[in-house]
Amino acid sequence: NYNAAGRIYWTEQNDVSQSFYGTLNWRTNLEIGDAMISFWARNFLNKEYAAFYFETMNKGFMQKGRPMQFGVDLRCRF
């Protein structure tokens, strides 16, 4: 799936903003009997974006969004 966010203004004065960005995520599952294995990725294109921003004492602080992540999930039913 593709998640997108339009321009985000971080201050009341609208002088600090994050431009439009999108992240591509995917998951594929393989079921064998009572087991399921899932391979997944988040932010597959490794898009850099600001996840959070605030100002205090005339200084701005920004937290970056998560980088590309890969994983495997294993589930068993019994």
Taking the C-alpha atoms of residue 50 and residue 64, their distance in angstroms, rounded to an integer, is: 5
Give every CB contact of residue 66 below 8 A, 6+ residues apart in sequence: 42, 43, 51
Whole-angstrom distance, CA of residue 26 vs CA of residue 1: 6
Predicted pLDDT at 15: 85
- Identify the pLDDT of residue 16: 86
pLDDT at 46: 94
Provide the β-strand partners of residue 54.
61
- Per-residue model confidence as pLDDT tens for the chain (78 residues): 999 888 888 888 888 888 899 999 999 999 999 999 999 999 999 999 998 888 888 888 888 999 999 999 999 998
Q: How far is CA 73 from CA 1, 39, 66, 76, in A?
A: 18, 7, 19, 10
